[in-house]
Amino acid sequence: MRTQTEQIKKQVLDAFQFRHATKLYDETKVISDEDFAYILEAGRLSPSSLGSEPWKFLVVQSPEMRDKLMPVCPGAVEKLRTASHFIILLARKGVRYDSEYLISQMKDIQQMPAGMIETVSGHYKNFQELNNILDTERSLLDWSSKQTYIALGNMLTAAAMIGIDSTPMEGFSPVGLEKVLADEGLLGDGEFTPSVLAAFGYRQADPARPKTRHSLEDVVEWV
């Protein structure tokens, strides 16, 4: 058992060493459907505050749609051109403790008994008030957007574990991208907004230099 545990730890750390923000992808190499489904599943199974799952993963594979995104995603142009798969992680708006969505989440997804939902909603209200999440629509959206980064991190790691490269990105115009997606009918009835981008595929070349990070002593303090 100890040997197995050590092997798993090594596999995970090796994946982190392997992963880097890939600049250029080999456009001739395509991720298999099976492998990409696994990456998406890693995102779907990710934890989220209150179990709210306030996200949607928009997989952009249409060349025409990728072309439309380039003017409003200047930081992602090369990835849109060459990456095997491209995801826009959307954050759900208005996930208040008493929202129709969160009530449905408790009832239909988490399958809480009817008598428990009101009590739990009260706990959620206290939590959101304590953390100033209800102060403005912006603070509520920021809270949802933070959850998408948990899913993003898990997808990046899941990909690296099987030798697939990735690039997380924020290089887009929020207003411009939202308009493009809204015009295409991809934001529902305004329930979602773009949060972060991610490209997946296979690197064109290895990184020019080894991974650099602060030492563990620099970033960890025991109290």
Domains of the chain: 2-96+140-204 (3.40.109.10), 97-133 (no CATH)
CA Rg, the chain, in Å? 19
Extract the residue ranges of the chain whose pLDDT is less than 50: none
Q: Give yes or no for a contact between 102 and 127, defined as CB atoms under 8 angstroms apart.
A: no
Res 1: pLDDT: 66
Which of 82, 90, 69, 89 has its CA nearest to residue 165?
Answer: 82
Res 8: pLDDT: 94
Res 2: pLDDT: 77
Quote the tokens at residue 220.
Answer: 């960890």
CA distance 165 to 30: 11
Task: Name every residue whose Cβ is closer than 8 Å to that of residue 134 and which is 6 or more positions away in sequence.
Answer: 96, 128, 140
Quote the tokens at residue 75.
Answer: 């930081």
CA distances from 13 to 20, 104, 160, 161 (A): 13, 38, 10, 9
What is the helix (H) or strand (E) element at residue 96, kind and residue range?
A: none
Task: Name every residue whose Cβ is closer than 8 Å to that of residue 168 and which is 6 or more positions away in sequence.
Answer: 21, 152, 156, 196, 197, 198
Which of 196, 73, 78, 81 has its CA nearest to residue 144?
Answer: 196
Res 153: pLDDT: 98
